[in-house]
Structure 1
Amino acid sequence: MASIKQRADGVWRARYRDADGREHARHFKLKRDAQRWLDEVTTSVITGQYVDPRAGEATWGEFTRAWMDRQTWTAGTREAAQTAIQSVPWKGEGLGTVRPSAVQSWVTGETKRGLAPTTVRTRLNYVQMAFRAAVLDKVIPSSPAIGIKPPRVRKAEATMKILTVDQIRAVLDAAGDFRPFVEVCLFAGLRLGEAAGLQLGDVNFLARTIDVRRQVQGSTIATTTVVLPKYGSERTVYVPSELMTVLSAHVAAHGLTEPDEPLITTPLGRLYNRNTAGEEWRRIREATGLPAELTLHTLRHTFASNLIASGCDVVTVQRALGHAQPSITLNTYSHLWPSAEDRTRSATAEFMATILDAGESAERSRSGP
């Protein structure tokens, strides 16, 4: 129910009751302005866009706490989301008061603070998710994070590093007891957490396969947990006999017999986590003189680059890497596949060589012995 009445002081009072029976009112100098406001409210109700004006008073902190409690995220995802949610400067402000300019200023500030563009993009993604949830819950009419420009990310071909043959040999020589971990990342393309989560039963020595069924998350002993792999990452990787030989020797040396025993552990028998595996890699990097931009994840990139160089198609590489969609593989590694120009040049070179070889053979035949 809605109405417009003029008060004794000449001001027009427009009011309506929402679906819960609560009254909302505003005052206007002109009747047409009051009527326009009521018309806008009526339209929003009819189109399903109505938002209680008081709903936006909920603070960012209050709403996001309840929103995050409803998510079925892994511990790692929850940690990343929490970091993003807590990094904004409007934590104590009402959702309805946050403006697009404030969101853009936050993104710009995070970039100027020295955070990597990919990190800022990830944080913005979580913030946008929270605002979208608020819109769906009719807490705010629209998201102030729509259209916010994230920092530019350098192209993969400019940032991705691949180990050379000499560097690989040096890494393996310096790896020591950490060598099996390095090799499953380098020759099976496993992520750090996937390599740390391997169990003896995941390795089929006769079939020469490794099953990726779990991953380790966390950076410290206290936070280390074993969870399911990233969505779409469960897979069977087909590996060479040489890697099976290395893993077989490792199993024999450590006396592993039970299928659920961790395959590769620290010298103290604990699961590797982000910090302990990172320490081992830094040791290897210092011993070999590798630059700091070469990380443990570089081993996985090197694995992928070898598949592509060997002529594997997108779907084959996608399945080997455990990407949920081929588009992820293409977005990451498209620069490693031969371009149309490369294929044209190669095909023409082969054609030209065939013609020239045939011509030289005919000339030799005519010339005789």
Structure 2
Amino acid sequence: MASIQQRPSGSWRARYEDADGHEHARHFPLKRDAQRWLDEVTAAVVTGQYADPRAGKVTWSVWVKSWMDRQTWVEGTRQAASTAFSSVPWGEKPIASVKASHVQAWVTGESKRGLAASTIKTRLNYVQMAFRAAAIDRVIPTSPVLSVKAPRTRKAEAAMKLLSAEQVRAALEGAGDFGAFIAVCAFAGLRLGEAAGLQLRDVNFLGRSIRVERQVQGSTIKASTLVPPKCGSERTVFVPDELTKILAAHVARHAVKAHDEMLFTTPLGQMWNRNSAAGEWRRIRAAAGVGDDVTIHTLRHTYASNLIASGCDVVTVQRALGHAQPSITLNVYAHLWPSAEDKTRAATAEFMSSVLTSTDSGRTQTTKAQVTGLS
């Protein structure tokens, strides 16, 4: 219901009721301005762009907190989102007042202060999710981040580090008791948290496989907890006999006996976490001389690259790595697969070789002469 009435003061009062029965009104000096406002409201309702003006007055921080409380996120995702949301400069402003220019200025500022492009992109993704949810709930008419651009990231082929066989060998030789941990990352492709979360029951020594059913989450001893792996990452990884022998020797050396006992622990008997494992890796990395930009995750990339080089298809690699979708695998590793040109050239070369090396020597000589233009 909507109406326009002239007030005793001469101004025009335009009013309407929303779907919840709440009345909204504004005063205008001219009737045509009042009518224009009502027309805009009507158009917003018809096109699905209407949002209660009062809803948009809630601050960004209050809206985000209530929205996060409704999400079924694991703790790691919740922490990453909290970091992203706390980094924006409009936290105490009404959510409806945030413009695309504000968000773009924040992205540019994060880039100027040296934050990695991939980190900024991740934070922007969380901000986009929150604004999109606010638009769906009609807290705001539309999301202001639709046109915001994240900084460009380096191409995977330029940014991804891979280790040679010699470098992996050097890392293993200098790892000491941490060597078995390094081995499951390099030869089973486990993430740091997945390797840290392994228990004795997860290793099938006779079947030569490792079951990934949990991961350690958290960067400190106090914050570290055992949680399920990333959604879709539960998997069985089939490993070479040499890796099971390394793990068997590790189990014997450290007297790991109970099925639910952690396979890898620090010298103090605690679970490895992101900080402690990374610190141990820095020691190994320095001793092996593999470069300061090489992380434990580089071992996983190296594992994937060897699967691809050996001719494994994308689905096989996806399952081994625990990616939820083949598209994720392709997004990260597409540059490692042979190109269409490489495959065409190799296939044609094989066929051509079979033609030119016929068992009939007479026909072979004739065919070669015709192909080379000597006849």
- What TM-score bracket applies, with the shorter chain setting the length? over 0.9
Q: Which residue of 2 aligns with 1:250?
A: 250
Q: Which residue of 2 aligns with 1:336?
A: 336
Q: Which residue of 1 aligns with 2:24?
A: 24
Asked if 1:55 corresponds to 2:55, the answer is yes
Q: Which residue of 1 aligns with 2:87?
A: 87
Deviation string 1:244-281 (CA, Å, 9 cap, x unpaired) is 11111111111112110001111111110001100111
Shift of 1:199: 0.4
Q: Quick check: 193-202 or 27-36, which moved more?
A: 27-36
Q: Which residue of 1 aligns with 2:144?
A: 144
Q: Which residue of 1 aligns with 2:261?
A: 261
Q: Which residue of 2 aligns with 1:12?
A: 12
Q: Which residue of 1 aligns with 2:182?
A: 182
In the alignment, the residues of structure 2 paired with residue 286 and residue 208 of structure 1 have an alpha-carbon distance, to the nearest angstrom, of 32
Deviation string 1:105-151 (CA, Å, 9 cap, x unpaired) is 11111111111111001000000111111112221111111121111
- SS of equivalent to 2:27: strand
Tell me if the contact between 2:357 and 2:364 (Cα under 8 Å) persists in the aligned partners.
Answer: no
Query: Compared with structure 1, are the counterparts of its residues 264 and 355 closer, same or farther at alpha carbon in structure 2 (3 Å cutoff)?
Result: same
Shift of 1:32: 2.3
Q: Which residue of 2 aligns with 1:167?
A: 167
Asked if 1:34 corresponds to 2:34, the answer is yes
Deviation string 1:61-102 (CA, Å, 9 cap, x unpaired) is 111111111111111111100000000000110001101100
Shift of 1:49: 3.6
In the alignment, the residues of structure 2 paired with residue 365 and residue 334 of structure 1 have an alpha-carbon distance, to the nearest angstrom, of 42
Q: Quick check: 334-343 or 356-365, which moved more?
A: 356-365
Query: Compared with structure 1, are the counterparts of its residues 140 and 337 closer, same or farther at alpha carbon in structure 2 (3 Å cutoff)?
Result: same
Query: Compared with structure 1, are the counterparts of its residues 165 and 360 closer, same or farther at alpha carbon in structure 2 (3 Å cutoff)?
Result: farther
Shift of 1:322: 0.2
Task: For structure 2, list consecutive stretches of 5 or more residues without a partner in the other structure.
Answer: 367-375
Query: Compared with structure 1, are the counterparts of its residues 245 and 152 closer, same or farther at alpha carbon in structure 2 (3 Å cutoff)?
Result: same
Provide the TM-score with structure 1 as the length reference: 0.95
RMSD value, Cα: 1.9
In the alignment, the residues of structure 2 paired with residue 23 and residue 355 of structure 1 have an alpha-carbon distance, to the nearest angstrom, of 84
Question: Aligned letter for 1:257?
Answer: K
Q: Quick check: 247-256 or 150-159, which moved more?
A: 247-256
Deviation string 1:183-208 (CA, Å, 9 cap, x unpaired) is 00000000000000000001111111
In the alignment, the residues of structure 2 paired with residue 285 and residue 331 of structure 1 have an alpha-carbon distance, to the nearest angstrom, of 27
- SS of equivalent to 1:152: coil
Question: Aligned letter for 1:94?
Answer: P
- SS of equivalent to 1:265: coil
In the alignment, the residues of structure 1 paired with residue 9 and residue 206 of structure 2 have an alpha-carbon distance, to the nearest angstrom, of 92
Shift of 1:361: 5.3
- SS of equivalent to 2:296: coil
Q: Quick check: 134-143 or 317-326, which moved more?
A: 134-143
Shift of 1:356: 4.4
In the alignment, the residues of structure 2 paired with residue 110 and residue 362 of structure 1 have an alpha-carbon distance, to the nearest angstrom, of 73
Question: Aligned letter for 1:281?
Answer: W
Shift of 1:47: 4.9
- SS of equivalent to 1:134: helix
In the alignment, the residues of structure 1 paired with residue 347 and residue 121 of structure 2 have an alpha-carbon distance, to the nearest angstrom, of 41
Task: For structure 1, list consecutive stretches of 5 or more residues without a partner in the other structure.
Answer: none
Q: Which residue of 2 aligns with 1:273?
A: 273
In the alignment, the residues of structure 1 paired with residue 365 and residue 9 of structure 2 have an alpha-carbon distance, to the nearest angstrom, of 114
Asked if 1:98 corresponds to 2:93, the answer is no
In the alignment, the residues of structure 2 paired with residue 151 and residue 119 of structure 1 have an alpha-carbon distance, to the nearest angstrom, of 10
- SS of equivalent to 1:25: strand
Tell me if the contact between 2:356 and 2:364 (Cα under 8 Å) persists in the aligned partners.
Answer: no
In the alignment, the residues of structure 1 paired with residue 199 and residue 81 of structure 2 have an alpha-carbon distance, to the nearest angstrom, of 30
Shift of 1:43: 3.8
Shift of 1:363: 9.4
- How many residues align? The count is 366
Deviation string 1:171-227 (CA, Å, 9 cap, x unpaired) is 111111000000000000000000000000011111111000000011110110110
In the alignment, the residues of structure 2 paired with residue 348 and residue 238 of structure 1 have an alpha-carbon distance, to the nearest angstrom, of 34
Q: Which residue of 1 aligns with 2:119?
A: 119
Asked if 1:284 corresponds to 2:284, the answer is yes
In the alignment, the residues of structure 2 paired with residue 179 and residue 351 of structure 1 have an alpha-carbon distance, to the nearest angstrom, of 46
Q: Which residue of 2 aligns with 1:323?
A: 323
Query: Compared with structure 1, are the counterparts of its residues 365 and 89 closer, same or farther at alpha carbon in structure 2 (3 Å cutoff)?
Result: closer
- SS of equivalent to 1:216: strand
Question: Aligned letter for 1:145?
Answer: V
Q: Which residue of 2 aligns with 1:229?
A: 229
Show the 5 A alignment for 1:339-350: 339-350=339-350
Identity %: 67
Question: Aligned letter for 2:243?
Answer: L
In the alignment, the residues of structure 1 paired with residue 353 and residue 306 of structure 2 have an alpha-carbon distance, to the nearest angstrom, of 27
Deviation string 1:273-331 (CA, Å, 9 cap, x unpaired) is 00110011100111011111111000000000000000000000000000000000001
- SS of equivalent to 1:24: strand
Question: Aligned letter for 1:97?
Answer: S
